[in-house]
Amino acid sequence: MREFKILVVLFAIVGFTYYGIEPYAHHIMHPEPVEADFNFKDLKDIDSSLKGDAQNGKTLVEANCVACHSIESQGHMPLMDDATNAASYGVVPPDLSTAGNLYNKNYLANFIANPAKAMHLEHKYSETKPFPMPSYNWMTPKEIMDIVAYFESIKAKELTHKESFENACGRCHSMAYAGISAKTPGKVATSHFGSTPPDLSQYIKSRGEHYLHSFINDPQNLLKGTAMPRVGLTQETQEDVIAFMEETGDRKKDERNALGIWVILFFVLMSGLAIAWKREIWKDLH
């Protein structure tokens, strides 16, 4: 009976800690991350419901984009190597072959019109320090949607988790555990961003899936003033990126979760044996 009373006290202490202290610590002192917005509802400069003409979009892209960006799937190769590109722009301009796969349609249209605003980096750039990519808000909304339609027409049929990560994150971030090095040299990235973009091999463990979903979707919600841009990924692509981070940095998650029930059963069994042993040893004194 005494053991049962002790067990009740322990449950009471644990319950108070879990349901009393923990919610305060996590929800008051450290608020829950803001839920990810995959529709990017704050971006309204361009009406992304407009139907675009991919053929005209191709003409516009070839006239305005390929001087800086490669589109290797369409035969437009980089004009400079990664190091020279990074030194020129601060970061390696992305290849646009998979833009239609990676980015939300509304985000992509508004990004073309005003990159710094779409990325929530207006605090970092100004007229004296402009964003490396110019705004194309001089184009009509229809022309911008033509460009978006072209990117959607050339997108890959399917991207692996690794390909999604490399295309979405690999220009700035390394993943040493997967043998991936950032395309932008570290010193250039540090100078451009103000700090070195971290290696993401273990971020799935140090930050957690829920935090990463909110942070990638809009870093300013969780780290005000950061130089990390809002990337604008679709929900599917962002899930692929986080899945790759998990596959790389937490490969034994499923095995660990499956083992959990057996660990609990072991402790239940050992507790029963300990109680039985204690009663046998001390029965003459009770």
pLDDT digits (tens, 9 = 90+) for 21-63: 766 666 665 666 778 999 999 999 999 999 999 999 999 999 9
Q: Residue 175, SS3?
A: strand
pLDDT at 83: 94
Mean pLDDT of 196-205: 94
Regarding whether 188 and 124 lie in a shared domain, the answer is yes
| H and E: helices and strands count for the chain | 14, 0
In angstroms, the CA 212 to CA 207 distance is 7
In angstroms, the CA 204 to CA 222 distance is 16
Regarding whether 149 and 87 lie in a shared domain, the answer is yes
Regarding whether 93 and 19 lie in a shared domain, the answer is no
Regarding whether 263 and 245 lie in a shared domain, the answer is no
Specify if 48 maps to a domain: no
Q: Residue 139, SS3?
A: coil
Residue 148's pLDDT band (boundaries 50, 70, 90)? very high
Regarding whether 267 and 171 lie in a shared domain, the answer is no
Regarding whether 167 and 277 lie in a shared domain, the answer is no
Specify if 238 maps to a domain: yes
Regarding whether 60 and 110 lie in a shared domain, the answer is yes
Beta bridge partners of 233: 103
Regarding whether 275 and 240 lie in a shared domain, the answer is no
CB 233 within 8 A of CB 168: yes
Q: Which domain holds residue 7?
A: 1-31
Regarding whether 191 and 232 lie in a shared domain, the answer is yes
The domain total for the chain is 3
Kindly give, in sequence order, each residue whose CB lies less than 8 Å from that of residue 16, ignoring residues fewer than 6 positions away.
none
Regarding whether 159 and 65 lie in a shared domain, the answer is yes
